[in-house]
Amino acid sequence: MSVHATDFIAVEQLLGAHNYAPLDVVLSRGEGVWVWDVDGKRYLDCLSAYSAVNQGHCHPRILEAMIAQARRLTLTSRAFRNDQLAHFYEEIAALTGSHKVLPMNTGAEAVETAVKAVRKWGYEVKGVPAGQAEIIVAAENFHGRTLGIVGFSTDPEARGNFGPFAPGFVTVPFGDPEALERSITPNTVAVLIEPIQGEAGVIIPPAGYLRRVRELCTRHGVTMILDEIQTGLGRTGKLLAEEHEGVEADVTLLGKALSGGFYPVSAVLSNTEVLGVLKPGQHGSTFGGNPLACAVARMALKVLVEEGMIENAARQGALMKAGLESLGSNLVREVRGRGLMLAVELHPEAGGARRYCLALKERGILAKDTHGHTIRISPPLVIAPEQVEWAVEQIGESIRR
Ligand SMILES: *Cc1c(COP(=O)(O)O)cnc(C)c1O
């Protein structure tokens, strides 16, 4: 590493809060699946900013849309209307089959928005007694970092010493529909889950789980909220991960790749009247739905579909999974995933995933360890077959005993 790079790291260490433990690579440029560090070394990005750059780094068409819109109009606030918001509503509603859209900025804000909306819906439509609304969530969930959200996290790191927390959340094991059914009461307004738990280590629930959750929600008059902030927008080889089980959530949360990594854009999509309970003055955001965000998101969705990225994720994901499965390293406990949302879980004897991520970095691949023993592999959806093969080769070399 050059003096240049170590200087950047030293300043970060000195002046930045240490709320992340990044790999020591200082990036300065990106294009498609590639990123370059300040010394000009190239890496294949196998994290994609936690799936925010599904469309690849600095996608030229999104870049053009952003620059063009930035020249015209960036922010009006929702006190006035702008000429991008209606287009964004129409296009995202048509693509996802939703009836109502509420634009926000970060993923966590979309989650908070959904929680507020379903509570209000519970009191005003379902008839839950005041202050009694319950939302069922899954153990090991990850929905963001706000106070409201970490309050229903089960991760001691995420919640430790941040309390007191808001009541009204009930935790059940992920992937267990019977436990979920037992937890439903007349005061249950919603179930909030990820279709695949990404941060927990790419945990795929048993087949049929989402369908069972859908049935239970319908039968008990409970809103089904799917957090597709990470699984959505092509990552798993479908536009939305719910499609793998042929279900439709009542409320779907999108973020991350909704902007192709250019700008924070999130959205709450609803196919019921849940969002209809929100009236002027009851919820909002200065930046939510701004014209720059809308223009960027419109193009981010357009290229995802027009350039076949969703189909490519399915194809390259299958290729990559098969490649990883055939590595035959005795350090590997399991390869799992769907589409290009993949993970290699190592045996504890391998000594933790981070050392292999460091080794991969030396070989020109950036990947992220999670939960000690798991390496997440989630490259941009524009990856080509020869890049998949190269990545699998490098991963194989790095985890050979
Ligand atoms: C990243 C993520 C969030 C939070 O998004 P932010 O933009 O970081 O607030 C919420 N849910 C899931 C499933 C995520 O992966």
Q: Which atom of ligand 1 is nearest to the CA of 255?
A: 7
**Sheet hosting strand 374-377, strand order edge to edge:** 332-338, 341-346, 374-377, 368-370
Nearest CA to 305 among 371, 239, 222? 239
- For residue 164, whether the previous peptide bond is cis, meaning omega lies within 30 degrees of 0, is yes
Cα–Cα distances in angstroms (integers) from residue 92 to residues 45, 148, 157, 258, 385, in the given order: 27, 27, 35, 10, 29
Ligand 1 center–CA 176 separation, angstroms: 23
Q: What is the pLDDT of residues 194-224, one digit of tens each?
A: 999 999 999 999 999 999 999 999 999 999 9
Task: Kindly state if the Cβ of 255 falls inside 6 Å of ligand 1.
Answer: yes
Closest CA to 336 of 156, 179, 158, 175: 175
Q: Does residue 52 line the site of ligand 1, with CB under 6 A?
A: no
pLDDT of amino acid 271:
79
State the pairing for strand pair 223-227/188-193. parallel
Burial of 88 (0-12, 13-18, 19+ CB in 10 A): buried
Q: Which of 115, 142, 253 to mutate to test the pocket of ligand 1 (most atoms within 8 A of CB)?
A: 142
Find the helix or strand (DSSP H, E) in which 224 lies: strand 223-227
Ligand 1 centroid to 145 CA: how many Å?
8
DSSP state of 399: T
Residues labelled catalytic: 142, 227, 256
| Domains of the chain by residue range | 3-55+308-399, 60-306
Q: Which residues contact 1 (CB under 8 A, 6 or more apart)?
A: 24, 39
107 Cβ closer than 6 Å to some ligand 1 atom = yes
Closest approach atom of ligand 1 to CA 194: 13
| CATH classification (class only), 60-306 | alpha beta
Q: How many whole angstroms from 220 Cα to the centroid of ligand 1?
A: 28
Q: Do domains 3-55+308-399 and 60-306 have the same CATH topology?
A: no
Q: How many CB atoms lie within 10 A of CB 13?
A: 9
Per-residue pLDDT of 15-58, as tens digits, reads 999 999 999 999 999 999 999 999 999 999 999 999 999 999 99
The preferred substitution site among 47, 53, 112, 143 for testing ligand 1, maximizing ligand atoms within 8 Å of CB, is 143
Fold annotation for 3-55+308-399: Aspartate Aminotransferase, domain 1 (3.90.1150)
Q: Tens of pLDDT along the chain (401 residues)?
A: 787 899 999 999 999 999 999 999 999 999 999 999 999 999 999 999 999 999 999 999 999 999 999 999 999 999 999 999 999 999 999 999 999 999 999 999 999 999 999 999 999 999 999 999 999 999 999 999 999 999 999 999 999 999 999 999 999 999 999 999 999 999 999 999 999 999 999 999 999 999 999 999 999 999 999 999 999 999 999 999 999 999 999 999 999 999 999 999 999 999 778 999 999 999 999 999 999 999 999 999 999 999 999 999 999 999 999 999 999 899 999 999 999 999 999 999 999 999 999 999 999 999 999 888 999 999 999 999 999 999 999 999 999 86
Per DSSP bridges, beta strands 374-377 and 368-370 are: antiparallel
